[in-house]
Amino acid sequence: MHYIDGAEFGWRNGTAKWPAYYADSLGAVENVGPGCPTGVSFSFGTKFSADYQRALYILDWTFGRIDTLHLEPNGATYRASRETFLSGKPLPLTDIAAGPDGSLYFTTGGRGLVSALYRVDYVGNESTKPVQSLALNDAQKLQIKLQASSDVNTLWNALSSPDRTLRYTARIGLEKLPLKQWLPKYNAENKPQTLITSTLAFARMKGEQKLATKKLLGIDYAKLSVNQKIEYLRACSLVWIRLGCSDSDKLAWIKKLSNHYPSYDKNLDSELSRAMIYLDSPLAVTKTITLMQSAADEKKKSPKRFSKAMIPMPKTF
């Protein structure tokens, strides 16, 4: 069983869906696009070849297809490659399960349609011997340890992990503890990645606005990687949303961030535009419109290269 405590994927209505790069979101193992998901099942116990015994089967009612996700370890979690296992028109899929006889069964129906039960068997020469579960790697073992831990030092050390899932798990662990237990470590911390991750927890636990602002303003933004800058801006936005931002603080933030916008990185500029507009930067609209026009001009010159504008319209907080 693989699960992550407090998992958040940013599912919101309409355009409020979070970007996958938000630091307090885990991102998907695989994005399957539009559809109507129904049944989901692994096929352990089937008399299939090894790859298909380990696969995860996902049903789509609308488009009438069963996709297989072939999972492989990716740090403390997994990534997937996807293929269409079978499809039909119409094939309104409703549920799926591995049977005790080694076959895979699925049903169709719903919304007044005639229901049916189907069986899938493997015919071929590959071995159908039961497969063994994959052994856990070191990152996965640490993730399990972090989920069970209430030790501040153990959790704190993982906040700067290069593995996004471990950072996420450690942050959730901190949020389960009273803020006063780890406030001294937050006060003393000066490592950028640890500060960024811990500030996400600090804001969500309604810590002191002045302290969070001081800590974030003290980070050398220019020395951060692009991914760290995106996480930094997410931490800033949570502080502003949950703890507030005074007019004097807004001026300090504008001074800190203005010269770094635009960066000409799509995701980073999306977050910078939201931040600068929220902060009422006098140059926010001019810079954003200029950047959007530049992207539109490039798209006209090379439509195959620029399939989308470089900068999406900024969303409100």
Average pLDDT, the chain: 92
pLDDT attached to residue 37: 94
Out of 50-54, 129-133, 149-153, 202-206, which region has the weakest mean confidence (pLDDT)? Answer: 129-133
pLDDT attached to residue 299: 66
Question: Edge-to-edge, what's the strand order for the sheet holding 77-87?
Answer: 37-42, 56-60, 65-74, 77-87
State mean pLDDT over 249-261.
Answer: 98
pLDDT tens for 8-20 read 999 888 888 999 9
Q: Would the pLDDT of 306 be above 80?
A: no
pLDDT tens for 196-209 read 999 999 999 999 99
Euclidean distance between the first and the last CA atom of the chain, given in angstroms as a whole number: 36
Q: Would the pLDDT of 221 be above 60?
A: yes
pLDDT attached to residue 304: 43
Specify the amino acid at residue 36.
C
pLDDT bin (cut points 50, 70, 90) of residue 313 is: very low
State mean pLDDT over 176-192.
Answer: 98
Please give the share of the chain, as a percent, with pLDDT higher than 70: 94
Q: Would the pLDDT of 312 be above 60?
A: no
* Contacts of 79 by beta carbon, 8 Å cutoff, 6+ apart: 29, 30, 71, 72
pLDDT bin (cut points 50, 70, 90) of residue 301 is: low
Return the sign of the alpha-carbon dihedral for residues 150, 151, 153, 157. Answer: negative
- In b/e form, how buried is each residue of 215-225, taking b as 16+ CB within 10 angstroms? bbeebebeebe
pLDDT attached to residue 130: 95
Contact 310, 292 (CB under 8 A): yes
Query: CA-to-CA distance for 193 and 198, rounded, in angstroms?
Result: 8
**59-62: Cβ within 8 A, 24+ apart:** 59/93, 59/94, 59/95, 59/96, 59/106, 60/32, 60/35, 60/36, 60/93, 61/35, 61/36, 61/37, 61/92, 61/93, 61/94, 61/110, 62/34, 62/35, 62/36
Query: CA-to-CA distance for 215 and 221, rounded, in angstroms?
Result: 12
Please give the share of the chain, as a percent, with pLDDT higher than 90: 86
Q: Would the pLDDT of 317 be above 60?
A: no
Query: CA-to-CA distance for 14 and 19, rounded, in angstroms?
Result: 12
Q: Would the pLDDT of 295 be above 90?
A: no
